[in-house]
Amino acid sequence: MVGLGRSGVALARFLRARGDRVRVVDRQPASKLGDQLALLPEGVETILGGYDDGVLSGCEEVYASPGVPWDADLLRDARLKGIRIGSEIDLFFRHCPAPIVGITGTNGKTTTTALTGAILARGSRPVLVGGNIGETVLDHLDEVTPEHWVVLELSSFQLESVERPKPAIGVILNLTPDHLDRHGSFENYVAAKARLIQFQDAQDHAVLNGGDAACRKLAGTTTAQITWFEREPDPPMPVPGAHNLLNARAAAAVGRLAGIPRAEIDAAVAGFAGVEHRLELVGEWGGVRWYNDSKATNPEAAIVGLNSFVGLPVVLIAGGQGTGFELAAWIADIRRLTSAVVLIGDSAELLERELAGHRSVQRARDLDHAVELAAGRAEAGGVVLLSPGYKSFDWFTSFEDRGRRFKDRARAWHAARTA
């Protein structure tokens, strides 16, 4: 096994439970892997802090975590030796006895996955939700029966690692450039996403966004029955944003294909509170609503978040880590839709240049400073929106870490002023 993250631990448990000898390798030292190491079952060999292709000695299969590039040197060496390459999600697809709903796309995956799970739970069959959201599904494989629905959020990294992904229902929400540092080109990225529906047959369903040009082209790559989800009736989606209305239509289309009555679909959507880090309402203080949209890790996602509050005075907190993004459309929307901007992270200097002439642009020293600056510029009836448009790995360990720390800082700042 290459890479000891959450999926690596799940893999080790699964493989040891079936009697396999397991060797785990990771370039990070043991001092940085303590939490994961503590969760490994007995009998797992570990090689940490670096490795070479000698670790393949005696191996019959190699499994890679999603963070390991699919063309990594060690995986290439394994292929040359005729060793089968797989992943946690690949094993799950191979062994899952239940029909799978696979959901992918550049933006909106988590919200759509969570909402799809809520809709299917209105039916008579048990539901398991996982993949790139929540807990690793391999840990729950022994709980799954043929009567279940399994709903999986699937990233491009996961999809390229599955030999033959074949969901009963495959959903592709949208496709815009992302993870090009990993895939090399937009075409390769689309090809990874398209694998979700390429192995389906005429009994399966591909649920696609006909309003997205790249998605529309994928209809010719599958023999599944096509459903254009943007044509679904508008459900009563309580989470803000036109994009979330599209996410709700996609989830509703899955529910309809699964035989869930329309009244139950509408009830599930109406009761949906959203998911953490996706336009999540943190609180309202002094007539200003604060939103955590930390999952907006690229400009396209940040555009969607910003356009959820058209007509309101918005203080935007933006910036982070990443290169190669097309910024023009996002910058234009920031100029048009924000009353003030607070910049954070590695990209702050670049964004400050791009926003020259904007009515109010300030750079923050750290997250506490960003909250303080945003509060000082916010107007009653308006919004403070953390929607960074960049990855999180400059100041934070993950977008979840960034979002949770933002929520903590915002609540603490306001609590200190009302004490």
414 annotated active-site: no
- Number of other CB atoms surrounding residue 85 within 10 Å: 18
- Number of other CB atoms surrounding residue 363 within 10 Å: 17
**How far is residue 237's CA from residue 135's CA, in Å, rounded to a whole number?**
26
On the 0-12 / 13-18 / 19+ scale of CB atoms within 10 A, 146 is exposed
What is each CA distance from 52 to 28, 56, 152, in whole angstroms? 14, 8, 33
**How far is residue 198's CA from residue 193's CA, in Å, rounded to a whole number?**
10
On the 0-12 / 13-18 / 19+ scale of CB atoms within 10 A, 24 is buried
AA identity, residue 313: P
**How far is residue 137's CA from residue 7's CA, in Å, rounded to a whole number?**
9
Helix (H, G, I), strand (E, B) or coil at 23: strand
Given the residues 107, 132, 247, 292, the one annotated as active site = 132
Given the residues 179, 183, 205, 243, the one annotated as active site = 179
CB 304 within 8 A of CB 412: no
| Per-residue H/E/C for 29-76 | CHHHCHHHHHHCCCCCEEEECCCCHHHHCCCCEEEECCCCCCCCHHHH
183 annotated active-site: no
End-to-end CA gap in the chain? 52
On the 0-12 / 13-18 / 19+ scale of CB atoms within 10 A, 38 is exposed
Structure-token pair, residue 405: 């720390």
- Number of other CB atoms surrounding residue 181 within 10 Å: 11
What are phi and psi for residue 43, nearest 5 degrees? 90, 5
Helix (H, G, I), strand (E, B) or coil at 279: coil
CB 207 within 8 A of CB 227: yes
Q: In which residue are the tokens 């799954």 written?
A: 144
109 annotated active-site: yes
Given the residues 109, 183, 243, 277, the one annotated as active site = 109
Structure-token pair, residue 26: 């990771």
Active site residues: 109, 132, 179
